[in-house]
Structure 1
Amino acid sequence: MGFDLIPGYWLFLLDWLIRLAALAWIPVRSPPAAARSWLLLVGFVPLFGLPLYLVLGHPWLARVRRQRQAHASQLIRDRQAGLGALRWSPGQSDTEDITRLIERLGDFMPMQGNSVELLDDYDASLASLIADIDAAREEVHLLYYLMFDDRSGRAVADALVRAAARGVRCRVLLDAVGAKPGLRAFRRPLTAAGVEVHAMLAGGLAWRSLSRMDLRNHRKLALIDRTWGYVGSQNLADATFVREHPNRELVARVRGPVVRQIAALFASDWFIETGERLTLDAFVDTLAGNTPAQLLPGGPAYPFENARNVVVALIQRARQRVVLTTPYFVPDDVTLGALRVAALSGVEVQLILSLSNNQRLTRWAQRSYYDELLQAGVHIALHRPHFLHAKHLSVDGRIALIGSINLDIRSFALNAEAGLVCFDPAVTARLHAVQDGYLADAQRVTLEDWRRRPRWHRSVEGIARLADSLI
């Protein structure tokens, strides 16, 4: 009888050893908010929670990837030293600290002489990209998170084949998980046509030697002949890949010196994935407009959470109005606090989210923040007819950020992201027109109405919020 109890004692001992080990180890390796979520999971189900933490709990990258990112960053800084004539100086403007922060975090300096076109129509944006590929004479570089085997994916693949047939050097980087359908359908025919195709952050068994398995390259960038650049939220897929709610996106089509930065970011990712160094020496900088702009890259290969730090700094910079658009809103404590303080300080804080959402757990988690934000005076609007997948913000009619950055912990800490920061009232005014269009067809959320929701909703929201660091 006594021997029958021995396995139970060992299981009981193992159960508590895991809990104690997690208590000593997890807080050292994870931020406090993430540590709380993981400790709660390990505390409830130790035998399941600890293995899951070992796989997903820490945003680690292989040493070679971090070394290559550091090398690329240093090279970018060294090359910029000879481009002083292109540097934009805000002078006495109160944006100088923002430009300095972005440069210290993401390496790229503010550059003058750019033109920025905002593309809000999904099909027109894709048609513009394909037209630029068809007009290319030297080089086409594409870096995207999603590429599907659908009409849009095939149209881009066909344009690449036509470009390669003209002798254009085409290189494509696609996220190994997000773009799996596109890689499966187009990799062989593109390679056969002379297009160089590589998967980023390859999944499967390869992840063990490369990175934490759920780290993703979420950037959406295009570079055509080192003349035109695209930065935004739109992928290489049909707008209807979310059923019944076609995607609504925003893309910045840019020309001017800042295109050099898009080229450098692509070259950095290419180097990190392949080890091959692309030359940027043949770049010819053309002053194409009056917009000062600066590229903001972020991701786990950088020492800090670049996107989060800049978003928080921009919110803190606002004195009149800040408008934030994102499909996924699961902020960390710092971002949440910045929004509350801005609203309580008298700044008009407008948050535009999508009423429809293709991630159920995220939808429940983000709803858990509405009450405290509404109570602080933040305005929340839920866009109705589309899946609003665009990601951008505007500050005081002077600064605009457009790119792939969601206002969630995943974008801040786990994904490689890219955004274009424009210091131009004209660009910001055009962005305001887009944002006003969202608001014209949105459901406004009020504190009184929100507090009438069923009590069981609150319980589900609270449970989902506990998983904020796991989403």
Structure 2
Amino acid sequence: MFDASHLTLFYLLAEWAIRLVMIVVIPLRRPPEAARSWLLLVLFLPIPAFILYRLIGRASFPTWRRNRFAKTAPERARIAQTLWDPDIPRSRLSLLAESLGGFPASAGHRIELLTDYERTIQAMVEAIDGAETRVHVLTYIFADDATGQTITNALSRAQLRGVEVRVLFDALGSRPWVEKTKAMLALAGIDARLVLPVRFAALRRARGDLRNHRKLCLIDGRLGFAGSQNIVDRDFKPGVVNDELVARIEGPSIAALDAIFASDWFLETREAIEPLPVIRTEGPAILQAMPSGPDFETPGYERLLVEMVHAAEERITIVSPYLIPDQALLTAIRNAVARRVRVDIVISSVVDQHLVSLAQRSYYDELLASGVRLHLYRDRLLHAKNVLIDEEIGIVGSSNADVRSFVLNAEISVILHGGEAGQHLAAIHDAYIASSDPLKLEDWRARPKRARLAENLARLVSPLL
């Protein structure tokens, strides 16, 4: 018969078995920063750590989803081949982005960068009202508030004209509104699907916080919107008003964005979407679409961002509401400063994610000490996500400079290769900095010790997420 001593021995043996197994497993499946945090947790709390690792430890999808995603690869490759232009010079960054995301840079685009929240929604409505064949919408948040109703009304009008309308919205990002949004879209006759609904059946189990964070609105294969803005009221969180950046694009790269939407649609529905012809314009901009996320083999956005920082010669500007860099990005930034590149990072003084804010604040000291210029955007949450290198190569998209966007989220980036678009983005960055307060190292080091403790504890936890 078992008594208390046997149970104690069994518990101790289980703990040590977990420690020994996880010491082998974790370093093979997690990047070094996350592995260190997991191993520390396993050392002190092996059984809770094992349970937590089973829930959120692996940043990958189950086999059935990986197989389904592989079926979409030939169509994306066909679109990429169509977009290939031998007359466009290939830079090291464009080649890397093509290798990571699958699509080449292409010429012949018109692009407008939109910073006004309400004007962006109105521009989407105008585009949907002008649609003739197809409208595709993919968003992280789709609310049933005034903004959501405005977009839904436009989609309904398109549907009544005989336009194909498809909507994807993330199940977790839209969680507070899911049922009402589904009902609103169904009442309008819109074919809308949840992205990555949380399922508990064993054979379909996936890490619940692997999310689709992309924001796309695509019209007739000729016009599209990509950036940081969700379909929700600007002040949907009490006390927080969002500022965003969205690119309005016309040109051949819309075909790549449509192919990304089609892949995401197939993953949720197993329904293939017939591609539209690639439409070219006479615009001057060279653009490149780059998807990233756990469906892909490597953390594409992180690798591209690190390479961009290494390639910079004069100035780097990174705008991100959430800043939790990995070691590769930190090293690249410090090296850039050491070779006398000006590095500006714009973050928000307004906080909407308190744990994330504590974790990112733990990096401020080493960034400031290395010579990085940190700017705290005043009054509103600067939810925009964009990067510019030497006023030549830029990114506008949905990716933050944090571990979540690097590893866990499906994201979309539009890469700007030179030209007026980079100059316009530089002017937007100057406006951001003018609306920000510089953070000084001496002021930062004067903060209370209890704040430092909370920040360091949050930093320990952040790689686990």
How far residue 191 of structure 1 moved from its aligned partner, in angstroms, is 3.1
1:74 partner SS: helix
TM, length-normalised to structure 1: 0.95
Name the CA distance, whole Å, in 2 between partners of 1:189 and 1:297.
29
Aligned ranges 1:26-425 → 2 under 5 Å: 26-84=26-84, 86=85, 89-90=88-89, 96-205=91-200, 209=204, 211-280=206-275, 282-425=276-419
How far residue 13 of structure 1 moved from its aligned partner, in angstroms, is 2.5
How far residue 187 of structure 1 moved from its aligned partner, in angstroms, is 1.9
Name the CA distance, whole Å, in 1 between partners of 2:335 and 2:116.
34
Name the CA distance, whole Å, in 1 between partners of 2:56 and 2:213.
18
TM, length-normalised to structure 2: 0.96
- Which amino acid in structure 1 is aligned with residue 328 of structure 2? V
Q: Which moved more, 1:366-375 or 1:282-291?
A: 282-291
How far residue 99 of structure 1 moved from its aligned partner, in angstroms, is 0.7
Q: 1:76 to 1:244 in 2, by over 3 A?
A: same
Query: Any idea what the Cα deviations from partners look like across 1:371-427, whole Å, max 9, x if unmatched?
Result: 111111111011011111000000101111000000011100110000100112311
Name the CA distance, whole Å, in 2 between partners of 1:321 and 1:81.
33
- Which amino acid in structure 2 is aligned with residue 443 of structure 1? D
Q: Which moved more, 1:4-13 or 1:445-454?
A: 4-13
- Which amino acid in structure 2 is aligned with residue 263 of structure 1? D
Query: Any idea what the Cα deviations from partners look like across 1:181-211, whole Å, max 9, x if unmatched?
Result: 4431132342354321111111142586152
1:114 partner SS: strand
How far residue 88 of structure 1 moved from its aligned partner, in angstroms, is 5.6
Work out which of the residue numbers 436, 439, 451 in structure 2 matches 1:457.
Answer: 451
Question: What is the number of equivalent residue pairs in this alignment?
Answer: 464
Name the CA distance, whole Å, in 2 between partners of 1:90 and 1:207.
49
Aligned to 2:6: 6
Q: How big is the alpha-carbon RMSD for the aligned residues of Structure 1 and Structure 2?
A: 1.7
How far residue 428 of structure 1 moved from its aligned partner, in angstroms, is 1.2
1:81 partner SS: helix
Q: Which moved more, 1:21-30 or 1:233-242?
A: 21-30
**Structure 2 regions of 5+ residues with no counterpart?**
none
Name the CA distance, whole Å, in 2 between partners of 1:171 and 1:207.
29
Asked whether the equivalents of residues 201 and 211 of structure 1 are also in contact (C-alpha less than 8 Å), the reply is no
Q: Which moved more, 1:362-371 or 1:69-78?
A: 69-78
How far residue 9 of structure 1 moved from its aligned partner, in angstroms, is 2.5
Asked whether the equivalents of residues 201 and 207 of structure 1 are also in contact (C-alpha less than 8 Å), the reply is no
Query: Any idea what the Cα deviations from partners look like across 1:431-455, whole Å, max 9, x if unmatched?
Result: 1121111111212111111111112
Asked whether the equivalents of residues 113 and 245 of structure 2 are also in contact (C-alpha less than 8 Å), the reply is yes
Query: Any idea what the Cα deviations from partners look like across 1:55-89, whole Å, max 9, x if unmatched?
Result: 101112122322233332333223433444x4562
How far residue 338 of structure 1 moved from its aligned partner, in angstroms, is 0.8
Asked whether the equivalents of residues 88 and 111 of structure 1 are also in contact (C-alpha less than 8 Å), the reply is no
Name the CA distance, whole Å, in 1 between partners of 2:297 and 2:138.
22
Asked whether the equivalents of residues 69 and 302 of structure 1 are also in contact (C-alpha less than 8 Å), the reply is no
Aligned to 2:17: 17
Name the CA distance, whole Å, in 2 between partners of 1:211 and 1:8.
33
Q: 1:10 to 1:128 in 2, by over 3 A?
A: same
Name the CA distance, whole Å, in 1 between partners of 2:5 and 2:102.
61
1:363 partner SS: helix
Query: Any idea what the Cα deviations from partners look like across 1:199-257, whole Å, max 9, x if unmatched?
Result: 11111425861522110000001101212101100000011023222001000000011
2:462 partner SS: coil
1:241 partner SS: coil
Aligned to 1:434: 428
Name the CA distance, whole Å, in 1 between partners of 2:326 and 2:261.
28
Name the CA distance, whole Å, in 1 between partners of 2:92 and 2:114.
29
Asked whether the equivalents of residues 88 and 112 of structure 1 are also in contact (C-alpha less than 8 Å), the reply is no
**What percent of counterpart residues are identical?**
38
Asked whether the equivalents of residues 147 and 180 of structure 1 are also in contact (C-alpha less than 8 Å), the reply is no
Q: Which moved more, 1:70-79 or 1:437-446?
A: 70-79
- Which amino acid in structure 2 is aligned with residue 233 of structure 1? S
Name the CA distance, whole Å, in 2 between partners of 1:239 and 1:208.
39
- Which amino acid in structure 2 is aligned with residue 370 of structure 1? Y
Name the CA distance, whole Å, in 2 between partners of 1:402 and 1:60.
25
Asked whether the equivalents of residues 199 and 205 of structure 2 are also in contact (C-alpha less than 8 Å), the reply is no
- Which amino acid in structure 2 is aligned with residue 360 of structure 1? H
Q: Which moved more, 1:69-78 or 1:129-138?
A: 69-78
2:343 partner SS: strand
How far residue 139 of structure 1 moved from its aligned partner, in angstroms, is 0.9
2:122 partner SS: helix
How far residue 165 of structure 1 moved from its aligned partner, in angstroms, is 1.3
Asked whether the equivalents of residues 329 and 408 of structure 1 are also in contact (C-alpha less than 8 Å), the reply is yes
